[in-house]
Amino acid sequence: MDTSSDLIWTQCSPCLLCADQPTPYFQPIRSATYRVLPCRSSMCGALPYPSCYRNVCVYQYYYGDSASTAGVLSIETFTFGAANLTKVRVPNVAFGCGNINASELANSSGMVGFGRGALSLVSQLGPSRFSYCLTSYFSPTPSRLYFGVFATLNNTNTSSGPVQSTSFVVNPALPNMYFLSLTGISLGSKRLPIDPLVFAINDDGTGGVIMDSGTSITYLQQDAYNALRSELVKVISLPATNDTDIGLDTCFPWPPPPNVTVTVPNFVFHFDSANMMLPPENYMLIASTTGFLCLAVAPSGDGTIIGNGNGNGN
């Protein structure tokens, strides 16, 4: 489920290039409700790179991590609902039937776009709102996705405090993405010396801050990252190193020596009218190969991307 893209797609048979998945590839010939979309359809026109073959809409879709998918844009009846709930059938949902997929799917069979464009699932279903609640990575409780009235968050005290809200910001250059107004960052009780302008959207559409459920870690604009790294190195009284195995450059040997006490502070994103507090387990990780304690944040030369590794929220 990816909030920074729109296309819904799954790996389809016959598959010319597909990643491994735990379930069989979707077989269109076995479905009575499957239809390919013609080139003149509005959904075909919503693709970033539409093309046509024998009046069938053919798509190519690319992601920021060099992943891609290509195939036929189609419609199908989608069925929603857990096994113990009433199921809801929605006809004519447009999706990509992917025959050439250069993607690491991490034990899944495709992707579901939740961006603001016409092709996304949330746009096609048309709910008034949706809520994606992430549980802790190690929690046996599954993360939940709600639509419409079920997505209403009651403003009552929770384990992390009252529910807070901040408004989305529209970036005319990237209108399909969810931008936010980030004003600053704190580590523990200290507000980091970061100029709020480093989080602003530039005149050419670059920069800004997006929420991206399809990115596993957070990428901070370079100046903001430097301020965070500098303060974290001061707070954690251990020699800083990097971990080239996982591409993170703010790591510490772990566990600390017996005579050293280390307290990792909370991390806070300060948004317009809301603060998002992350405990250490939501922004630090233990590298599986080295055992280092690493900051799950990397520098970015352009904007800021808040990834799903921050968990435990909406």
> Looking at 212, 245, 249, 302, which residue is catalytic?
212
**CA distance linking residue 153 with residue 131, whole number of Å:** 8
Q: SS3 for 196?
A: helix
Angle, CA of 287, 290 and 294, to the nearest 5°: 40
Q: How many residues does the chain have?
A: 314
Q: Which of 57, 66, 68 is nearest to 17 (CA)?
A: 68
**CA distance linking residue 86 with residue 291, whole number of Å:** 45
Query: To the nearest 10°, the Cα dihedral for 212, 214, 219, 221?
Result: -40
Q: What are phi and psi of 219, to 5 degrees?
A: -115, 120
Q: Measuring CA to CA, how many Å separate 133 from each of 47, 130, 143?
A: 28, 10, 6
Total Cβ atoms within 10 A of residue 233: 15
Q: What are phi and psi of 125, to 5 degrees?
A: -80, -30
**Is 65 in the active site?**
no
Please report which residue ranges of 46-165 form alpha helices under DSSP H: 121-125
Cβ distance 225 to 231 under 8 Å?
Answer: no
Identity of residue 38: P
**Is 2 in the active site?**
yes
Q: Which tokens hold the place of 228?
A: 């965070």
Q: Measuring CA to CA, how many Å separate 193 from each of 202, 223, 226, 252, 305?
A: 20, 10, 10, 23, 19
Cα 284 to chain centroid distance, Å, stands at 18
Q: Which residues are catalytic?
A: 2, 212
